[in-house]
Amino acid sequence: MPLINQRPSGPLIALSTDFIRVKEYFEAIVASSGDLICTTDIAGRVLYFSPGAETMLGMSAARAIGSPAHDFYVDGRAAAQGIMNLLRANPDGRVQNHEMRVKASGGRVLHVSMSASFLKDARGRVIGTLGIAKDITERVELERRLREMTVTDDLTGLYNQRHFHDRLREECARSRRQGDPLSMVVFDLDGFKQVNDKHGHLKGDDTLKAFAAAVSASVRHEVDLAFRYGGDEFILLLPGTTAVRGARVAKRVVAAAKPLAKLGVTASWGVAQLPASGDAAALVREADAAMFKMKSGKEGVRRRGTDLARAYASRSKNRRS
């Protein structure tokens, strides 16, 4: 064999061996990672699906490969397009710590932190994408619970007084901006003190929880906002709702809470609609005054100012001083 043919055989064999070793080393690293590692082609179809991805999503690589990547996103094509927009907007063609939701086996939804980048060939042409995702579901769920604890009333599960003031400002601003009506209903329980005095605080707590359940069952979830303001005072904020429709909601609540009448507990209520001026304090005062008017017309009912009325009266005094 000519010498010229013998010379390159050594380096070629070494190169091939090194390549295999690097490939095996890379595969060992990927296999040991619990993260989801995935590559796609230029059309967005899955080309590689790591063992960590199989474990995280509960799906085999054989099933995943060839599928559009957006099939795994909760928000589908919109989520995929959002990632592509971010990649194109970044000069480096990279995205770091992009939080999103992905689908897993058994109907589970996982929150992940995604880092992605373009894959390019030797000429610099984009030939696909690389995505690496960490499961952050536990962290997201913990943050959600902590947020709920700060805005939720421990006893009834409704929003609390602090959150009411925040959401009132937001909903009034939204109503002014969009030109939609906003109504507010104030409830005050009649006979509640007698239940506490006669049956004890545990029975009183059960009464408050029962009324809160009646409120929750009578409103549009994800739209209407229900609060326990304090004591036996409850408030509803009803976006996109006139005072007339707000009164219908209040009547539904009272009907749902009718079993409490056996304990001698009923509800006085008042409804108001945000005025054209967008004055949140005026909305509160009008709803509270309407509730007090109903309470004053009942026999044997203790007439007192509400915590809500006192809060806004003190605010008015502070603004004048």
Assessment of whether the complete model's pTM goes beyond 0.85: no
What's the average model confidence in pLDDT over 134-142? 93
What's the average model confidence in pLDDT over 236-254? 96
CATH of 33-141, one of 3.30.450.20, 2.30.30.110, 3.20.20.20, 3.30.360.10: 3.30.450.20
CATH of 152-320, one of 3.30.70.270, 3.30.390.50, 3.30.365.10, 3.10.250.10: 3.30.70.270
- Residue from 91, 133, 140, 102 nearest 115 by CA: 133
pLDDT at 4: 39
pLDDT at 25: 61
Task: Out of 35, 232, 279, 288, pick the active-site residue.
Answer: 232
pLDDT at 148: 76
**Where residue 3 falls among pLDDT bands split at 50, 70, 90?**
very low
Write out the two tokens for 24.
Answer: 């095996």
Active site residue 232: yes
- Mean model confidence pLDDT for the chain: 87
Give the model confidence (pLDDT) of 255-271 as tens digits: 999 999 999 999 999 99
6 pLDDT higher than 60: no
pLDDT at 306: 72
Under 8 Å CB-to-CB from 29, ≥6 apart: which residues? none
Give the model confidence (pLDDT) of 10-66 as tens digits: 544 455 666 556 666 666 766 777 899 999 999 999 999 999 999 999 999 999 999
Give the model confidence (pLDDT) of 181-207 as tens digits: 999 999 999 999 889 888 888 999 999
Domain extent listing, the chain: 33-141, 152-320
pLDDT at 22: 60
pLDDT at 310: 73
